[in-house]
Amino acid sequence: MASLQSFRAQLTRLRRLSQPYFLPYTATNGWLFVALLLALLFCVAGTVLALLSGLMAVLGVLLPGITAQYLGGVQGSLHFIWTVPITLPAFGPFSQGLKLLSWGQVVITLFVLGLGGFFACRNRLRQRRWVPWLLLGTIILMLLSVNGINAGITFIARDLTNALIARNPEVSYRNLWVYGICFMVALPIRTLQYFLTSKLSLVWRNWLTKSLVSDYFKDRAYYVLNPNEGSGGDVDNPDQRMADDTKNFTKDALKFTLDIFDAILMFTLNIAILWSISGELAFALVVYAATITVVMVFAGRKLAKINSDQLRYEADFRYGLVHVRNNSESIAFYSGEPEESREVGRRLGTLIENFNLLIIWEAILQALQRIGNYGSNFIPYLILIVPILAGEMDYGGFSQASVAYNLVEYSLFFIINRIEELARFSASVGRLEGFQSNISRVDREEYKDFFAEITPDSAIVLKGASVKTPFSDRLLARDLNLSIASGQRLLVVGPSGCGKTSLLRVISGLWASPTGQVSTPPSGELLFIPQRPYMTLGSLREQLCYPLDSDRFSDDHLRAVLQEVQLQSVLERYPS
């Protein structure tokens, strides 16, 4: 039960991250998102059937001889899809069974329903949300095309093998040419599929990163979540989560989704071929793959946690090195190299210790993977050796069974062969969704600006205000009443820790005053200088104008200011 709850929680986290790019997220519209995914599949299936039917009709008119010789199987399959109705088993008054629509009519009906679903949700797909659906549909269309080609190759491989054994040069060369043409057609489709998948991953990453950055700066969430005095939250390495984790998530989410769909298509198209050759072989493969998968999933649960810890330890170690770089002069003045070296070494030691554990579990999983793969190689021989030796199966049939078996095995061993990647992906989802949830759950009441009004005379006024550390009952000052008019000066003194800086946080709006009223001039007329000097990332002009727009001031104005404060030498060091 705990495993099921953990799995459902992980699916919820995955949905919270993935759905908003394709469909606005609410707690209750998850089924609508799933319905649109099914509608997309219906649209793709209808498109493939229509394109294939149209192509075969054109080829049948222009090149009837070649079409009948090489594509007779495709023509027969299309004729079956369009003409043979779906018949329900006989029951009650229907002694001969109930005949329904043909498979082709069913696919076209689902295609129309899929288009209707997207049309009904058109208002939810604004802000260019239709673009990822279009790209995703095109990628799935290519996957379906390639899997259809792969299924056809199994028959070509059978005929080619039999022709070679029979030493029939005409049939051998003909099938070899068809074999080569299939690969030549599949290659550009696969290449374009890779390009479109990477492109969709890139635009998704761009959207997700911008969304997280926007929420990060909204209502000063960056200040609330990062470690500082009285902080209500402590999210480790938010920079890594918005940079590396978003890149890995969007890339891996698309990769795994498409790989799963590819595996389902591969299994569906080839299991029928394998079953038609040997039902015992198909059944044995499914049972064997299911057993190995259960073992691998059970063993992989531990790996997911170790990977999550490894991501955090790697980020902590990198942050420790960045901290030394950013504070190099202070460390040098203090001669603090031994202590800094010990701290960096401690972080490295934690990283290496967890990495050793990761290596052990990866080795265990690698051994299980190899056992599964090696064992599966014997199954075709164990099952088919009797009919082959008895003359009930030719070598071409065995060759086709081997190709179909390998394709089905690949689809069934999807989890087994990617258990380590799935563990890393699971860890990335947890960290990124945790960051997203922390931003959305920030208790901004503890930091909310309690400005009752903007003072018209550019004065700072406190009436019955209090200074309290956020998320604690520590009251630093109460019932403060003061007024500082424009041009006046006020010196606040006191021992360290009495709340001098905290008072400035209340006046600036970084902390909330639980009582009374705080009034200040407009933000553009009020400047607070932090205790720690800050330099923005940008040009000298942007640094001088920060946080205002650098285009508001002319070059002459800025030169005059630098000269007035006797810093005109800065222009010689940074002329641009």
- pLDDT tens digit sequence for 281-317: 778 878 887 787 777 777 777 777 788 788 888 888 9
* pLDDT, average across residues 392-398: 73
Which residue matches tokens 């938010």?
238
For residue 446, name the pLDDT band (cuts at 50, 70, 90): low
Q: What would the DSSP string read from start to end of 22-85?
A: HS---TT-HHHHHHHHHHHHHHHHHHHHHHHHHHHHHHHHH-HHHHHHHSHHHHHHHHHHHHSE
* pLDDT, average across residues 396-405: 73
- pLDDT tens digit sequence for 412-442: 777 767 777 777 787 778 778 888 877 776 6
pLDDT of amino acid 451: 43
| Nearest-angstrom CA–CA distance, 341 and 552 | 46
> Between residues 282 and 116, which one has the greater pLDDT?
116
- pLDDT tens digit sequence for 519-549: 888 766 777 887 777 777 778 888 888 877 8
| Nearest-angstrom CA–CA distance, 374 and 368 | 10
What residues contact 398, with CB distance under 8 A and at least 6 apart?
380, 384, 388
| Nearest-angstrom CA–CA distance, 216 and 230 | 18
Q: Which helix (H) or strand (E) holds 462?
A: strand 460-468
pLDDT of amino acid 444: 52
For residue 346, name the pLDDT band (cuts at 50, 70, 90): very high
- pLDDT tens digit sequence for 124-177: 888 788 889 999 999 999 888 888 887 777 777 777 877 888 888 887 888 788
* pLDDT, average across residues 27-43: 88
pLDDT of amino acid 454: 53
- pLDDT tens digit sequence for 50-87: 888 888 888 888 878 777 766 666 777 778 788 877 76
Give ∠ CA 11-309-300 in degrees, rounded to 5.
55
For the chain, what's the residue count?
A: 576
Least Cα distance to 78 among 104, 101, 60 occurs for 104
